[in-house]
Structure 1
Amino acid sequence: MKITFLNLLLIISIASCAQKTSIKVNSLGFRPNDAKIASVTQPAASTFSIVYNQTQEIVIEGNINQPVYQSDVNEKVARINFTKLKQPGKYYIKVGDVKSSVFEISEDVYKSSLYTSMRAMYLWRCGEAVEGEHNGQMYKHAACHTDDGYIAYEDGKEQKKDGVGGWHDAGDYGKYTVNAGVTVGALFLTWEHFNDKLSNLDLQLPSDESNAHFPDFLKEIKYEIDWLFKMQYTDGSGRVSHKLTRKNFSGFIMPEEDNEKRYFTTWSSAATADFVAMMAMASRNFRQYDETYADSCLAAAKVSYQCLLEHPMHVKFEQGEFSTGGYQTDDSDDRLWAASEMWLATGEKQYLDDFEQRLSAIENPVELNWDWGNVGNLGVFGYVLHADEAQNEELYRKVKEAVISIADAIVSNTQQDVYGRPMDKYFWGCNGTVARQSINLSVANLLKPDKKYIDATVSIVGHLFGCNYYGRSFVTGLGVNPPMFPHSRRSAADSIEAPWPGYIVGGGHTATDWVDKEASYSHNEIAINWQAGLVYLLASVN
């Protein structure tokens, strides 16, 4: 190959760009007493300065530590610490002639992001029209999927059954019981841990007299619970349909244009166990607002729990002609969670015995990386945060130590990673897992308060909102250079340039392969399970 002078200049230019200094920082900002750390790739100077954006005054100067090479990103990166900056205001970091994005320091710096991320759940509603404004742009769709749904294969006839409501699951319009499990579980934990700060959160939900006495945060969860009631078989067996979808995915159309028939699939033991856990949690959290509704939730949970006892072996749903999301999972973790929540809801020892027997058979009772396919952490967290003399003392101590050990591992990961990321694995949807690890940290902090857990949580926020390899936010409509092309049918079909706001995208399968492309569902889809982790994370730092 002949290298011309112009080609040589191009090669030199590309190499130069690859080595260019870049400053990565949490673009949402920090609370005054937060640990404040940014990352600098290939620093072109040995010092940094923090500049007050309004006056261009330098408020802090400091030395940059020696860069560290990290193989997964193939970069030398230095971390700078400016925790001593506590004065509210808007700032940027400067290294040589390079500037970071502007960030804010304020006690309420995460408030609007929490609102946007939780209101994104409302905008996911199926069965009714929704609308919401963000940055001057109105997002809306008409009532959709009001014909849900059909029972496809009873006696060879299609029978109609009410399945209207709930949330669309992800970038598609299906509704899945198993993925609702980890989602609803995480959102109820958000309420249980931070309801003092969430009780007055105004999500600007449509008026509904039947729910007028519920706080908005619980109103939105209740919209999903109302739908979940419809997934339980009407024959009294307690079985719960695994999903309600078309037989195949729709094209990129608005939800109200999706008129293909949608069907309840057969039941699965994982869906049934998750149903039990969700309904038990609902009975506890809704009781002070509507005792009758709470009783209905608990009664439904008891019927499905009995179904689990009558079917002790794992039962998969029949995928058959369906090519929509499978969410097939072993049910051992789901049954564990169900037993835990039934004990918390009733106080009855039979459920505690069931839970402890299952837990005793697990070598590692707490997961570092977890999602819809391994929800055991939800059961463990409920158990360990509700100390009771009826519990097995030795088992309780073992679980408590495991919770703290895993949280310490997350802290260590954030301290060692050049971008403060809490996990060293990459996989489909790992951004959601990164956000969800904030639950591990909060539970450990409740059991054994330590500021390191709070610092690690702030580090997670930073990573998801700009302190990462890409220097970009992973949440639509929020932070610096957010995703513009999520795998989302609404965002693709609505003729609005900016995507629907507040949604976390799945992330890369390696440290450097994430792409902001609509077609790449494995990198850029949105999903309720990942979203619930984001909501918990932002609630925990508010």
Structure 2
Amino acid sequence: MKKNILLFILLLPIPAQSIVLADETASIKLNSLGYLPQAIKKATVTTEATVFQIINSQTGLEVFQGKLSEPVYQKDVDQKVWIADFSQVTQPGKYTLQIKGVGKSYEFTIGSDVYKSPFVTSMRAFYLWRCGMAVHTDYKGNHYETKACHLEDGWMDYIGKPNERRDGTGGWHDAGDFGKYTVNAGVTMAVLFYAWDHFGNKLKNISLDIPQTAPGMPDFLQELKWETDFLLKMQYNDGSGRVSHKLTRKGFEGFVMPQDDKEKRYFTEWGSAATADFVAIMAMAARYFKPYDAVYAQKCLDAATVSYNFLLANTATKNFVQGDFSTGGYQTGDADDRLWASAEMWETTGSSRSLIDLESRIEKLRNLAQENWDWGNIDNLGVFTYALSKREGKNPQLQAKVKQAILTSANLLVEKAQADVYARPLAGLYFWGCNGTVGRQAVNLQVANILSPNKKYTETILDIIAHLFGRNYYGRSYVTGLGVNPPMYPHDRRSAADDIEAPWPGYLVGGGHTATDWVDKQADYSRNEIAINWQAGLVYALAGGL
């Protein structure tokens, strides 16, 4: 990868002294996708300077000159940086940021629709993850395709029916591997359904150029339906309401194309967290699909009701045990999943029983709005649905308490982003999949913005986009095929197994475990894998910028 980085540097007229020694990237770091005209526009500069210019790429003329901020040292990146604020530049066009004696940035765009194309590419990435059908796309001169795969999903040996098979085809591959996991589908579908709920007026008319597998629905919902169609098959077919934790082979497949993965794949035993997540997903699906397909929506609600009744009658946690499996565990307790299930059932049906269940669970929470959350701690999903609901009957004191907690959390995210030299609201925390969490924090901010509109919340969402697309320590996009110097070697079996140098486009990689240790290496699954839950956060953040 070092050769690619050096090539990137040589293409920019930046002298050697302006290169950050730790990662050898350019010293001017900003959002490589572009900026909305009225948004705050900032760049982080890692070489000492006092004045910067914004140059119109077409005319070569200076359109703005500004002073860099006083230097700020940040310990986790071990850098002294200067901030260039060019928010006053609002005229649509293409520009570069230049600093005499230092160099210039890559070209960026200011315009009203700078995030539309990246949104489409990132959302189409879900289509390219589809299991059970051939998929293809043309992108930047390359043709990517897979054939229909895993058409024998899945075997029922682990749910009491040895050597029997029933239909488990469809859905999305989970990550860089080809497994399908109910728990991780939960947080993924929730964030995507939130995107529809919060930005549906913008999303409904966007073409994703996908097969019309649910004619009459907007493309965005058609893609989500591909996953709910599969998840309906994860419910046991004995009427009990139990839901399989995952559908995978016993061990991870090698680096092959999905159609070449021929090992038997099994429905695993049920778990209470997976069952609760299934309830919530299907209750949400019932709401959002109803205007387009009332029969299908009722099917989803009926399935949710059966599984919710099972959970009410079986209150003990049923943990999933890996046993013979070594594929993704996604093992978690179920208190947060049950809370989310009750929230979505109440929002969809108005059931007083669900509301009582929900409020009793919210009252037990110590943290009503978590900043750092993912599939293993999804209380936020239930709390956010409760806070935004227009249904009557809520406890007014609890509602006020929840609202205040959400606003307090969002304000803290704003403060952290403003204090971080790369505008990262997850300031100081790095771990497996942290880029996905950064994207997902856009949900916290938008929920707060709905409850109490504040431009600082939406500006911080744009900061999240900027960080993921280049305003970071590396000066690189974290999304394959998008932005400047994007990842070339994600931990993704398709990208490794095809004969194309560039990886499959539109995917967010997980990120480093410290502020400075991310590496673009295929083998490093803990830093450079892709995953549906991280991708959903990226899609949501970009939807907020449309």
TM-score, length-normalised on structure 2?
0.95
The answer on 1:510 being equivalent to 2:514 is yes
The answer on 1:102 being equivalent to 2:114 is no
Which of 232, 239, 242 is the equivalent residue of 1:239? 242
Conserved 8 A contact 2:350-2:391: no
**Distance across 2 between alignment mates of 1:438 and 1:317:** 30
Aligned-residue Cα RMSD (Å) equals 1.4
The Cα shift of 1:15 comes to 11
The answer on 1:461 being equivalent to 2:465 is yes
Deviations, residues 437-489 of structure 1 (Å, cap 9, x unaligned) = 00111010111001101111111111000000000000000001000000000
Name the counterpart of 1:182: 187
Q: Provide the secondary structure at the position in 2 that maps to 1:160.
A: coil
Kindly provide the amino acid, as one letter, of the partner of residue 398 in structure 2: L
The answer on 1:474 being equivalent to 2:460 is no
Conserved 8 A contact 1:473-1:482: yes
**Distance across 1 between alignment mates of 2:19 and 2:110:** 33
Conserved 8 A contact 1:477-1:502: yes
Name the counterpart of 2:416: 413
Name the counterpart of 1:216: 219
**Distance across 2 between alignment mates of 1:143 and 1:80:** 49
**Distance across 2 between alignment mates of 1:284 and 1:334:** 19
Structure 1 portions without partners, runs of 5+: 1-12
Name the counterpart of 1:540: 544
Choose 381-390 or 148-157, whichever is displaced more.
Answer: 148-157
**Distance across 1 between alignment mates of 2:502 and 2:36:** 28
Name the counterpart of 2:43: 38
Q: Provide the secondary structure at the position in 2 that maps to 1:408.
A: helix
Conserved 8 A contact 1:128-1:142: yes
Name the counterpart of 2:535: 531
Conserved 8 A contact 1:265-1:318: no
**Distance across 2 between alignment mates of 1:128 and 1:17:** 45
Name the counterpart of 2:173: 168
Which of 55, 58, 61 is the equivalent residue of 2:59? 55
Name the counterpart of 1:320: 323
The answer on 1:65 being equivalent to 2:46 is no
The Cα shift of 1:14 comes to 9.3
Q: Provide the secondary structure at the position in 2 that maps to 1:90.
A: strand
Which of 249, 256, 259 is the equivalent residue of 1:256? 259
Q: Provide the secondary structure at the position in 2 that maps to 1:150.
A: coil
The answer on 1:271 being equivalent to 2:288 is no
Kindly provide the amino acid, as one letter, of the partner of residue 231 in structure 1: M
The Cα shift of 1:62 comes to 1.1
Conserved 8 A contact 1:89-1:104: yes
Q: How many residues align?
A: 527
Conserved 8 A contact 2:125-2:507: yes
Name the counterpart of 1:140: 145
The Cα shift of 1:18 comes to 2.6
Name the counterpart of 1:439: 443
Kindly provide the amino acid, as one letter, of the partner of residue 311 in structure 1: N
The answer on 1:305 being equivalent to 2:304 is no
Name the counterpart of 2:129: 124
Choose 104-113 or 155-164, whichever is displaced more.
Answer: 155-164
The Cα shift of 1:92 comes to 0.8
The Cα shift of 1:155 comes to 5.0
Conserved 8 A contact 1:503-1:531: yes
The Cα shift of 1:221 comes to 0.3
Deviations, residues 125-149 of structure 1 (Å, cap 9, x unaligned) = 0000001111121111000000101
Kindly provide the amino acid, as one letter, of the partner of residue 391 in structure 1: K
**Distance across 2 between alignment mates of 1:94 and 1:336:** 51
The Cα shift of 1:183 comes to 0.4
Q: Provide the secondary structure at the position in 1 that maps to 2:209.
A: coil
Q: Provide the secondary structure at the position in 2 that maps to 1:107.
A: coil
**Distance across 1 between alignment mates of 2:419 and 2:371:** 16
Conserved 8 A contact 1:414-1:459: yes
Identity of counterpart residues, as a percentage? 58
The answer on 1:24 being equivalent to 2:29 is yes
**Distance across 1 between alignment mates of 2:98 and 2:107:** 11
Conserved 8 A contact 1:201-1:216: yes
Kindly provide the amino acid, as one letter, of the partner of residue 197 in structure 1: K
Structure 2 portions without partners, runs of 5+: 1-15
Kindly provide the amino acid, as one letter, of the partner of residue 42 in structure 2: I
The Cα shift of 1:304 comes to 0.3
Name the counterpart of 1:193: 198
Conserved 8 A contact 2:20-2:27: no
Deviations, residues 474-505 of structure 1 (Å, cap 9, x unaligned) = 00000010000000000000110100000000
Name the counterpart of 2:407: 404
**Distance across 1 between alignment mates of 2:175 and 2:200:** 26
Deviations, residues 161-194 of structure 1 (Å, cap 9, x unaligned) = 1100000000000000000000000000000111
**Distance across 1 between alignment mates of 2:483 and 2:50:** 28
